[in-house]
Amino acid sequence: MQHLIVRAALCVALAGAGPVLADGIALVSSEKDHALTVIDLKTLAVTGTVPTCKRPRHMQPTPDGKQLLVACGESNAADVIDLATRKSVRRLPLGDDPEAFDLSPDGKTLYVTNEDEGELSMIDIASGKVLRKVTVGKEPEGVKVSPDGKTVWVTSEVANLVHVIDAASGKLEKNVKVGKRPRRFALTPDGAQLWVTNELSASVSVLSTKDYAVIDTLQFQVKGMRDTDITPVGITMTRDGKRAFVALGRANHVAFVDVAARKVSDLVLVGKRAWHVALDKAEARLFVCNGLSDDLTVIDVAGAKALKTLPVGRVPYMAVLIE
């Protein structure tokens, strides 16, 4: 009898931790607060902040999920934050004005764009040593490492190019002309297509990773808005590669894109200058940072509808979900 009660209690406990809304937090970097805002994923409420180095922008967890790397533009370093204690445990120098970065698949090397210098720096995370610097076009921004770790892609906002760089040698293998002010990348899960947002061309360029031909250009349109008001920056894709989500910047909308058809299926109104998009693990909710309204909009993906918009820090840059 006693046995039964214990078992029942266990069941209740398990049900409470239920699969629908996973436990976890979203961390949002705020350029002007030098802090990350912590959001509870279940209640969608702000529960605290984590202080960081100055002007935190791009963030990425280490492959083991234990630490979060936060690139800080004004500190010329990354804060290494222990996710269990939510405390900074180390500073990793990243060179002048680091903006975005990506990690090698083994998590040992960090590739970071240095906006002012127009360089891609390759950094050994364990020792903090700069392994190599590659000169690229001015104001490099988006950086992405191929799944096999052999290639690094970088956008240059000034040169309007995607640079294709060999990770091992640092050799610049190709410059691909895309739209104006290229920003961020998404890669289809088969690795065949590289999608690049063009902030000042209201478009996404689709590149073939085989020969770097521009296969297609997806032009965004929002009813009642001019092309110049549509400034796509953030982009992400579902794991099955069927759907992409693009933050349309000043157009204050997020576009849902059917990847195969390269067509926009939905447009969801969010906050001012929607900037960055992140999916949760279940791909049920999309977290959108609105750079000019200092808030974050949570979108229900299935319904293509905004669920809630909550105030975060000043000039939110991106959200990372820790589940």
Partner 1 sequence: MTCARRLLAVALLCGAAAAVAAPFKVLLLERADDPQLERSALERAYLGHRGGPAFDGLDVALKEAKFELDAAGTSVALERAAVADAAAARDAAARAQKAGHAAIVADLPADWLLAAADATALPLLNVSEAADRLRERDCRARVLHLLPSERMRADALAQTLVARRWTQVLLLTGPGEFDAERAAVAQSALKRYGLKLVQTKPFKLSADPRERDLANPALLTGTASVGNYDAVWVVDSDGEFARSLPYRTALPRPVVGDAGLVALAWQAQFERFGAPQVSRRFAKAAGRPMVATDWAAWMAGKAIAAAAVAGPKGPAAALAKALPTLELDGSKGTPMGFRAWDGQLRQPMLLTDGQGVIALAPADGVLHPKNNLDTLGADAPEKLCKPKP
The residues that touch partner 1, with contacts defined as CB under 8 A, are 97, 115-116, 118, 135-139, 156-161, 172, 175, 177, 180-181, 200-201, 226, 228, 231, 250
Tokens coding 235: 């982009």
Q: How far apart (Å, rounded) are the C-alpha atoms in residues 102 and 92?
A: 14
Q: DSSP per residue over 7-70, as a string?
A: HHHHHHHHHHT-SSS-S-EEEEEETTTTEEEEEETTTTEEEEEEE-SSSEEEEEE-TTSSEEEE
Q: Is 112 exposed, middle or buried (0-12, 13-18, 19+ CB in 10 A)?
A: buried
Q: Which is nearer to partner 1, 29 or 201 (CB)?
A: 201
Q: Which is nearer to partner 1, 175 or 219 (CB)?
A: 175
Nearest approach in angstroms of CB 115 to partner 1 is 5
Contact 134, 165 (CB under 8 A): yes
Nearest approach in angstroms of CB 222 to partner 1 is 15
Q: Which is nearer to partner 1, 76 or 201 (CB)?
A: 201
Q: Is 217 exposed, middle or buried (0-12, 13-18, 19+ CB in 10 A)?
A: middle
Tokens coding 198: 């063009």
Nearest approach in angstroms of CB 182 to partner 1 is 11
Nearest approach in angstroms of CB 294 to partner 1 is 14
Q: Which is nearer to partner 1, 166 or 283 (CB)?
A: 166
Nearest approach in angstroms of CB 96 to partner 1 is 10
Q: Which is nearer to partner 1, 104 or 160 (CB)?
A: 160
Write the DSSP symbol of residue 149. S
Spatial strand order of the sheet with 172-177 comes to: 140-145, 151-156, 161-166, 172-177
CA angle, 275 then 281 then 287, to 5°: 25
Q: Which is nearer to partner 1, 159 or 214 (CB)?
A: 159
Q: Which is nearer to partner 1, 61 or 137 (CB)?
A: 137
Nearest approach in angstroms of CB 272 to partner 1 is 12
Nearest approach in angstroms of CB 92 to partner 1 is 22
Contact 34, 56 (CB under 8 A): yes
